[in-house]
């Protein structure tokens, strides 16, 4: 079996989807399945190769397809659709000269399921259902198999009549060799230039998703109700950093808020080792409630630091009261109380952090890829 992972993305990128795509390809390849990442040749502001950006060995191939980047010339949505159609045409032409026997087309692009009519086996990995029309679900029925990142997403397909044995739930994964390393908290703080005397509450990753706040607003508001706690967020864009700095100033806590831009995986892991508590207070919106499988959740678990997370169905699929502190979403007072309580109870913090680390073993990228490959093989029987 060979996998062609077809991704309409600009890479390298600091966004989470870039990491998950590259880690998935690497894990497929390490599992013994020849893998090629097929994507458009687009300029990016990031320096270095894809492998250098994500700190992985070149275990899989990358095939760039020529596209015209219409977005560089403006045009908004029209330019977006022109580039998308250009990429799909390039994919089709590339596949015309690619042997079909034993080839799996693995993609997040639902329209590419149409390639099943040309004899290709298309596995669709669904991260979000943007279109709930009959046409979308009709197309998905033609897929060789479907992989979703949450049970809630799988339920959406089952409600439309798709069969459970054609859909696998495979949440995001974690690099245990990186985020599972234990580093002395004080040593990590020294390397990052962080204060030793304050408690540190940490958030890592992008500050917003599709323009939606990811809980940093609640964290900043909660700081007004806790003392001797420094909040650090690492991984934001320049506009988001400016946005939340202004919010911290309005709430009178700007001296206890440090916001950092996009960082390497190694540096994010170091930040987590420097923290006392890791925060994930996602708001209760349809996206966070039903569609997400945040990579940071598994990275947090592997770091062996106590986690405070929102009580949402997608979170409950992985976290519970034995491996995290679960709180109601959109409630800064409850968040503040949870932070104060866990910092005053180091024994409880150690117990839930240790359980989370143990549970994270099941969510390595290697385990995830093995499950997906086994699932694909069962569809061939």
What local confidence, expressed as pLDDT, does residue 76 receive?
Answer: 79
Task: State residue 315's pLDDT score.
Answer: 96
pLDDT band at 101 (very low <50, low <70, confident <90, very high): confident
Tell me: pLDDT of 212 over 70.
yes
Share of the chain above pLDDT 70, in %: 99
Q: What is the pLDDT of residue 77?
A: 83
218-245: average pLDDT: 96
| pLDDT value at residue 75 | 67
Question: Per-residue confidence at 94, pLDDT binned at 50, 70, 90?
Answer: very high
Decide if pLDDT at 316 tops 80: yes
Residue 312 has what pLDDT? Answer: 96
List the single range of 13-22, 56-65, 202-211, 234-243 with lowest mean pLDDT: 13-22
Determine the average pLDDT of the residues in 271-288: 96
For range 223-248, the mean pLDDT: 95
CATH class given for the domain over 2-173+364-380: alpha beta
Taking domain 176-362, whether its CATH number is 3.40.50.2000 is answered by yes
pLDDT of the residue at 149: 95
On the question of pLDDT at 211 being above 70, the answer is yes
Please give the pLDDT value at position 381: 60
Task: Note the pLDDT tens digit of each residue in 33-83.
Answer: 999 999 999 887 676 788 888 888 899 999 999 999 887 777 678 888 898
Mean pLDDT of the chain: 93
pLDDT for the residue 291? 87
Domain with CATH 3.40.50.2000 in the chain: 2-173+364-380, 176-362
pLDDT given for residue 98 in this prediction:
83
Q: How confident is the model over 272-282, as a mean pLDDT?
A: 98
In this predicted structure, the answer to whether residue 124 has a pLDDT above a threshold of 70 is: yes
**List of residues 6+ apart from 351 with CB closer than 8 A:** none
CA atoms of 40 and 23, how far apart (whole Å): 18
Residue 380 has pLDDT above 80, yes or no: no
Token pair in block for residue 156: 């959406």
Buried b (16+ CB within 10 A) or exposed e, 242-263: ebbbebbeebebbebbbbbebb
What integer pLDDT is reported at residue 197 of this predicted model?
Answer: 92
> How would you class 238 by CB atoms within 10 Å of its CB: exposed for 0-12, middle for 13-18, buried for 19 or more?
exposed
């Amino acid at each position: 079996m060979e996998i062609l992972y077809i991704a309409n993305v600009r890479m390298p990128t600091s966004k989470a989807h870039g990491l998950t795509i590259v880690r998935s390809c690497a894990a497929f390849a390490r599992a013994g399945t020849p893998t090629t990442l097929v994507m458009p040749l687009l300029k990016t502001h990031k320096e270095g190769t894809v492998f250098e950006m994500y700190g992985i060995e070149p275990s899989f191939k990358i095939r760039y397809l020529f596209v015209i980047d219409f977005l560089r010339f403006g045009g908004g949505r029209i330019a977006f659709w022109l580039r998308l159609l250009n990429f799909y045409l390039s994919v089709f032409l590339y596949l015309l000269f690619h042997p079909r026997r034993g080839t799996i087309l693995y993609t997040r692009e639902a329209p590419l399921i149409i390639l099943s009519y040309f004899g290709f086996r298309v596995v669709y990995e669904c991260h979000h259902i943007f279109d709930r029309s009959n046409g979308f679900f009709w197309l998905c029925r033609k897929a060789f198999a479907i992989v979703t990142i949450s049970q809630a997403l799988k339920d959406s397909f089952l409600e439309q009549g798709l069969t459970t044995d054609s859909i696998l739930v495979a949440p995001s994964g974690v690099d245990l060799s990186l985020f599972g390393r234990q580093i002395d908290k004080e040593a990590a703080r020294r390397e990052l230039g962080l204060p030793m005397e304050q408690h540190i509450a940490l958030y890592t990753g992008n500050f917003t998703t599709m323009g939606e706040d990811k809980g940093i607003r609640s964290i900043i508001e909660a700081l007004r109700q806790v003392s001797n706690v420094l909040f650090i967020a690492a991984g934001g864009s320049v506009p988001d950093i400016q946005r939340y700095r202004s919010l911290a100033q309005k709430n009178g806590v700007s001296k206890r808020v440090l916001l950092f831009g996009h960082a390497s995986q190694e540096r994010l892991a170091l930040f987590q080792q420097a923290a006392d508590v890791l925060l994930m207070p996602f708001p209760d919106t349809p996206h966070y409630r039903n569609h997400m499988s945040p990579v940071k959740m598994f990275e947090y678990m592997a770091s062996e630091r106590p986690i405070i997370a929102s009580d949402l169905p997608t979170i409950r699929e992985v976290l519970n009261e034995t491996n995290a502190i679960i709180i109601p979403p959109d409630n800064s007072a409850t968040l503040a109380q949870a932070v104060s309580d866990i910092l005053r109870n180091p024994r409880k913090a150690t117990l839930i952090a240790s359980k989370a680390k143990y549970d994270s073993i099941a969510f390595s990228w290697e385990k995830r890829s093995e499950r997906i490959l086994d699932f694909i093989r069962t569809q061939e029987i």
